[in-house]
Copies of this chain bind each other. A is one copy, B any other.
Amino acid sequence: MQLHSFFNSSTSYRVRIALALKGLAYDTLPVNIRAGEHRAADYVANVNPSATVPALIDGDFRLGQSLAIIDYLDRTHPEPRLIPLDTELRARVLELSTLIACDIHPLNNLRVLRYLETELKVTPQQKTAWYRHWVAQGMAGVERLLERSNAGPWCFGSQPTLADVTLVPQIANALRMDCDLSAYPRSLAVYEHALKHPAFAAAEPQRQPDYIA
């Protein structure tokens, strides 16, 4: 398999964790989204019509969107399963994962921050306040979901799931942006636990071949 990825993309980071947890070997095909390579005509026409990273290539099959890719990997390589089969546990995992993937991450990704700067001419302070506002609002929800269900060490028990796969890149981003996360102790405990796991460590941005310091 091959993964079109950018080291600093949270959605690429999710898929890298999933691949590593499943022990799947892959080649990284770097797509520099800072330079707009995800919008290149060849990439959009032949790899990923969404014009985003990540994109997985598995034989003849090319697939974009991180959650779709992880669901695909869970069906083609079910062990270890990241989206549980138990109906209620599965629902809880998807609830937390989509809270992050739909309610937090989309507001703070590169294209949005650039739009704020270039089109709306916000100040650096306004950009930081925007970023922290959506992290705070979303992470409060994540923490409440964990208060209801979390027994540790992972979001939903003794095995990592898609919930951890989405939470870890989100927390890493928030820490990079100096967000105060002290109100989310359960989320932070999961994050600290995950960083010690070799699959999560292997997927970190600074371990990628396209890493730029």
- CB nearest neighbor in B for A148: B49
Report whether A72 and B50 are in contact in the complex, using a CB–CB cutoff of 8 Å: no
A44 in contact (CB, < 8 A): yes
- A115 neighbours in B (Cβ, 8 Å): 130, 133
Q: Which 8 A-B pairs have the closest CB atoms?
A: A49-B144, A68-B94, A106-B106, A68-B95, A50-B141, A72-B91, A65-B98, A65-B95
Interface segment out of the listed A23-31, A119-127, A169-177: A119-127
Q: Which of A10-41 contact B (CB under 8 A)?
A: none
Chain A residues close to B by CB (< 8 Å): 44, 49-52, 61, 63-69, 71-72, 75-76, 87-88, 90-92, 94-95, 97-99, 101-103, 105-107, 111-112, 115-116, 119-120, 122, 126, 129-130, 133, 137, 140-141, 144-145, 147-148
Q: List 9 A-B contacts (CB under 8 A).
A: A44-B144, A52-B103, A65-B94, A65-B98, A67-B102, A75-B90, A101-B102, A106-B107, A116-B120
Report whether B106 and A91 are in contact in the complex, using a CB–CB cutoff of 8 Å: no
Integer count of this chain's copies in the complex: 2
Question: Could you tell me the distance in whole angstroms from the C-beta of A160 to the nearest C-beta in chain B?
Answer: 18
- CB nearest neighbor in B for A97: B68
Question: Could you tell me the distance in whole angstroms from the C-beta of A96 to the nearest C-beta in chain B?
Answer: 8
- A99 neighbours in B (Cβ, 8 Å): 50, 52, 64-65
Measured in the bound complex, the distance between the Cα atoms of B147 and A198 in whole Å is 40
Measured in the bound complex, the distance between the Cα atoms of B89 and A30 in whole Å is 27
